[in-house]
Amino acid sequence: MNALSYIAHFLIGFFFIYFGFSNFQQRTIIIEIMSKKSVPFASLVFYLGILTQTLCGLLIILNTMVLFAAIILIIFDIVAVLLFHQFWTLEGELRRLNLIIFITNLTVVLGTLLILIDPAQLLLIIRATP
């Protein structure tokens, strides 16, 4: 793995690990929100989500089972953003903030997809584009 690939893996993995720990610190509030949104077994789902974020983030950093970890994190991120950042149901500043978080998470999904592409092949694709 070249330096650029390692940096990309590290940044994507770090993103998920960081927010896994951050969400863990906010567990009471998040589990309460999940319960209000009728998420079944909210507490269990929350802790499985934290485990998913941190373990899969670590796998990506370590360049181990990257395809598996990336697919799991992409699904996780899309579900989480659709559940927690429904900007289309909000108004004003809260809508703007949740739209920013929504777009940020979709950008991370794109970044996670990109780490699955061999950098050498990506350069060939970029060079071939007129």
Place of tokens 């983030």: 57
- Rounded mean pLDDT of 83-101? 91
pTM as predicted: 0.82
| Percent of the chain residues topping a pLDDT of 70 | 90
User: What distance in Å separates the CA atoms of residue 16 and residue 58, rounded to the nearest whole number?
Assistant: 9
C-alpha to C-alpha distances, 6 to 36, 57, 100, nearest whole angstrom = 40, 13, 27
Burial 52-66 (b: 16+ CB within 10 A, else e): bbbbbbbbbbeeeeb
| 75: pLDDT strictly greater than 70 | yes
More confident residue, 120 or 24: 24
